[in-house]
A and B are shown apart, each in its own frame.
Chain A
């Protein structure tokens, strides 16, 4: 393992350069005294950020409500957006200075899938936080195949139990429709991962042939629905299941219209979820403002996880305001306070369902970016084979741990945080190989092509649709 990482390092001498820059920045950061730190010359003080009504926008709401933004001299307006497409377009046109984004959005936009624009991120907003919900009718069918213990279904529930249901729909000539929130969303990849792990083909994209529906060769047909409309769409019978962030899985339970079968924590333990994205142009024009924003958000994320989640109840109260998420307190509290309710009454403890700060959740790891790129390649959104070096270069273009560490060092210098809160100064941006996936496949971010070729379903090395 060590060998390969060393080799990787040699291949990308750029990285060494970045690292030395980082250390340099860290050193200079250490010397900043609190008084000086306050003098961060802001290029722009009035900012407008967009978000989607989901509990994982919490760091933004907290940074505003707890006045972390104001502490940095920033006057921020937060504005809910109708869907992920509008949100991305507004960041590109400059109507929004930045936004709560799907981790795949900056990557997808930068490589030109869907929209072409250079978007970067220096702050990862959270880990986990999604679930897959199916309609009551589908759950009844699935339940027959699921082993039970003490009268309750054994979790995690694999897609193997859904397969007979999908096969039956197929045999009857009925399409099995499911919803996800955006073509490059975590939800799309998670739903696909789960389905494929259970032998259900979620379909390929073929952008080079003009096919961006992602339903080629599919057993289950996935289409886009904005997060807050998921329960209504499920209720209307347009889709039989969906993958979405909170509180829209718990909402289905409360409304009695669907059953969450699995959370993304069980599909991939501690998976990266949302990021805070800004356009490269904006970041270049407003470097200090960008740093100040990241500083405020790091503090917000820490506040959210502090002292064993003791602030979560207050956070839920804030999120339930109509201008943020707006769902009922009880619905949001279900997942935000460390539990998750599957079938009505089957409430289980899931302390890490929402992680905002621990496990270095806010650090933008290259390996996280590369995972998203591997899934884009796996499902054909990236039409052609790319060498491993391409994955690294793209990740570096979009993920900016250098900016993150600068902000972190300023916070340390100001005495607001300690060095122990952050990854070590020599962090190379790669998490150690991750094993905890539902299909048991190990992910090593340094070898994207090798990783892709491990899957039974999906494009490999030289495959082309």
Chain B
């Protein structure tokens, strides 16, 4: 059990946790201690230096909104955001109580009345926005993967399809989300209209923009992975007379999976970055909108709150990357390959 947990930590790059565990079980304490200092102490020290430099630099810069917030001010704002979140939840409970009361009254008057339970109409808090962003990025990323992996396999297997697709890939790959967004918005508005839509338009807009931008790394890596299939494997499949489907499942996919995962990891990173930009531009709910709203508010707290968002975005991006990394590691056979 302990070994498995350690493996997990190792695979997601938290080797310092492993050192701590080993330290507790007293396996070679001296070496573990050194490991700990190297893997935890050094980064912590560097981070402390960063905080110090930031603190010093921040107090020097005077903007029209006041001083640039230092670490303390940012911490204060994050506490404030948490309290706002709690206060909003209290209001939410009251809202539902009022709604229930209203529905009960309606039913008392007319037992056949149609009762609707609606979601809270108050403002989304910072934590709601984080959740919205995560949901959106995963939706867009999933859609992108569903398109990119099969398409990449096709392109990798058939040189003709690849030659046909290549100009399109080269043309669309460098397009920024800011250019896609207006087109996506207009097309979605025209195509996606229903009385009671399952997803809100803003969600669909953001997710599709993310898809369009994070399609490419997966696609290209899949193509490379599939087309660099070893000729031995191809010959084996010919000897065994595998049909097309089995060939893909048994031979092509397994051998190109490390490359596909490299692509997926890059895609998710791109998707997360693109999402924030798209939300800022289109005012779609999420962390991007939070940043933009705060910038527009121009209150004395705004800069601090934007900083909180910057750290959150960075932290979530980091976690997403670690997640994909551990997936990638668990899917690749060559466990010693250095993946960073």
Choose the segment among A103-111, A168-176, A325-333, A382-390 that binds chain B (4+ C-beta atoms closer than 8 Å).
Answer: A325-333
Contact of A251 among B189, B294, B298, B301 (CB under 8 A): B298
> Would A326 and B297 count as touching, CB distance under 8 A?
yes
> Would B296 and A53 count as touching, CB distance under 8 A?
yes
Interface residue tally for chain B (C-beta within 8 Å): 28
Chain A residues with CB below 8 A from B295, complex form: 228
The residue of chain A having its C-beta at the shortest distance from the C-beta of B125 within the complex is A323
> Would A328 and B283 count as touching, CB distance under 8 A?
no
Task: Give residues of chain A (66-125) contacting chain B, Cβ–Cβ below 8 Å.
Answer: 70, 73, 75-82, 86, 93-95
Chain A residues with CB below 8 A from B340, complex form: none
- Verify if A229 is at the interface (C-beta below 8 Å from B): yes
- Verify if A352 is at the interface (C-beta below 8 Å from B): no
- Verify if B98 is at the interface (C-beta below 8 Å from A): yes
Contact with B along A244-259 (1 / 0, CB 8 A): 0000000100011100
- Verify if A235 is at the interface (C-beta below 8 Å from B): yes
- A322 with B121: in contact, given A45-B116, A251-B298 (CB under 8 Å)? no
Chain B residues with CB below 8 A from A203, complex form: none
> Would B189 and A323 count as touching, CB distance under 8 A?
no
> Would A77 and B296 count as touching, CB distance under 8 A?
no
Contact of A327 among B118, B201, B299 (CB under 8 A): B299
B93 to chain A minimum Cβ distance, whole angstroms, is 15
- A255 with B65: in contact, given A53-B296, A328-B299 (CB under 8 Å)? yes
B37 to chain A minimum Cβ distance, whole angstroms, is 43
> Would B98 and A229 count as touching, CB distance under 8 A?
no
- Verify if A463 is at the interface (C-beta below 8 Å from B): no
- A81 with B283: in contact, given A228-B297, A251-B298, A322-B299 (CB under 8 Å)? yes
Cα distance A53–B296 in the bound complex, in angstroms = 8
- Verify if A421 is at the interface (C-beta below 8 Å from B): no
- Verify if A231 is at the interface (C-beta below 8 Å from B): yes
Chain B residues with CB below 8 A from A76, complex form: 121
- A326 with B116: in contact, given A93-B189, A255-B65 (CB under 8 Å)? no
> Would B299 and A320 count as touching, CB distance under 8 A?
yes
- Verify if B300 is at the interface (C-beta below 8 Å from A): yes
Task: Give residues of chain A (309-349) contacting chain B, Cβ–Cβ below 8 Å.
Answer: 320-323, 325-328, 331
Task: Give residues of chain A (218-268) contacting chain B, Cβ–Cβ below 8 Å.
Answer: 226, 228-229, 231-232, 235, 251, 255-257
- Verify if A211 is at the interface (C-beta below 8 Å from B): no
Chain A residues with CB below 8 A from B201, complex form: 93, 95
Chain A residues with CB below 8 A from B98, complex form: 70
Cα distance A269–B189 in the bound complex, in angstroms = 41
Cα distance A226–B281 in the bound complex, in angstroms = 13
The residue of chain B having its C-beta at the shortest distance from the C-beta of A230 within the complex is B298
B299 to chain A minimum Cβ distance, whole angstroms, is 5
Task: Give residues of chain B (269-322) contacting chain A, Cβ–Cβ below 8 Å.
Answer: 281-283, 292-302, 305
Task: Give residues of chain A (118-167) contacting chain B, Cβ–Cβ below 8 Å.
Answer: none
- Verify if A46 is at the interface (C-beta below 8 Å from B): yes
Chain B residues with CB below 8 A from A321, complex form: 123
> Would B116 and A231 count as touching, CB distance under 8 A?
no
Task: Give residues of chain B (59-97) contacting chain A, Cβ–Cβ below 8 Å.
Answer: 64-65, 84
Contact of A86 among B283, B297, B299, B302 (CB under 8 A): B283
The residue of chain A having its C-beta at the shortest distance from the C-beta of B290 within the complex is A322
The residue of chain B having its C-beta at the shortest distance from the C-beta of A80 within the complex is B293
Cα distance A335–B77 in the bound complex, in angstroms = 27
Cα distance A109–B144 in the bound complex, in angstroms = 38
Contact of B296 among A70, A229, A235, A331 (CB under 8 A): A229
- A228 with B298: in contact, given A95-B201, A257-B64, A322-B293 (CB under 8 Å)? yes
Cα distance A321–B301 in the bound complex, in angstroms = 11
Cα distance A70–B300 in the bound complex, in angstroms = 33
Contact of A326 among B65, B118, B202, B296 (CB under 8 A): B296
Cα distance A53–B189 in the bound complex, in angstroms = 25
Q: Interface residues of A toward B: which range?
A: 35 or more
Task: Give residues of chain B (103-132) contacting chain A, Cβ–Cβ below 8 Å.
Answer: 116, 118, 121, 123
Most chain A CB neighbours (cut-off 10 Å) among B98, B121, B201: B121
Cα distance A86–B193 in the bound complex, in angstroms = 18
B191 to chain A minimum Cβ distance, whole angstroms, is 12
B174 to chain A minimum Cβ distance, whole angstroms, is 25
- A53 with B64: in contact, given A77-B121, A80-B283, A82-B292 (CB under 8 Å)? no
A58 to chain B minimum Cβ distance, whole angstroms, is 16
The residue of chain B having its C-beta at the shortest distance from the C-beta of A330 within the complex is B300
Chain B residues with CB below 8 A from A325, complex form: 297
- A46 with B118: in contact, given A86-B283, A322-B297 (CB under 8 Å)? yes
A399 to chain B minimum Cβ distance, whole angstroms, is 28
Contact with A along B197-226 (1 / 0, CB 8 A): 000011000000000000000000000000
Cα distance A95–B282 in the bound complex, in angstroms = 13
Chain A residues with CB below 8 A from B282, complex form: 82, 86
Chain B residues with CB below 8 A from A235, complex form: 64
The residue of chain A having its C-beta at the shortest distance from the C-beta of B65 within the complex is A255
Chain B residues with CB below 8 A from A46, complex form: 116, 118, 121
Chain B residues with CB below 8 A from A320, complex form: 299
Cα distance A211–B31 in the bound complex, in angstroms = 75
Cα distance A104–B188 in the bound complex, in angstroms = 28
> Would B64 and A255 count as touching, CB distance under 8 A?
yes
Contact with A along B164-193 (1 / 0, CB 8 A): 000000000000000000000000010001
Cα distance A427–B175 in the bound complex, in angstroms = 57
B203 to chain A minimum Cβ distance, whole angstroms, is 12
A223 to chain B minimum Cβ distance, whole angstroms, is 19
Most chain A CB neighbours (cut-off 10 Å) among B189, B281, B298, B302: B298
Chain A residues with CB below 8 A from B299, complex form: 320, 322, 326-328, 331
Cα distance A354–B176 in the bound complex, in angstroms = 43
Chain A residues with CB below 8 A from B84, complex form: 322
> Would A75 and B118 count as touching, CB distance under 8 A?
yes
Cα distance A215–B280 in the bound complex, in angstroms = 30
> Would A53 and B292 count as touching, CB distance under 8 A?
no
10 smallest beta-carbon distances between A and B, as pairs: A326-B297, A228-B296, A323-B123, A255-B64, A82-B283, A93-B189, A77-B121, A328-B299, A75-B121, A327-B299
Interface residues of B, Cβ cutoff 8 Å to A: 64-65, 84, 98, 102, 116, 118, 121, 123, 189, 193, 201-202, 281-283, 292-302, 305
Q: List 9 A-B contacts (CB under 8 A).
A: A70-B98, A75-B118, A80-B293, A82-B282, A82-B292, A93-B189, A228-B298, A256-B64, A326-B297
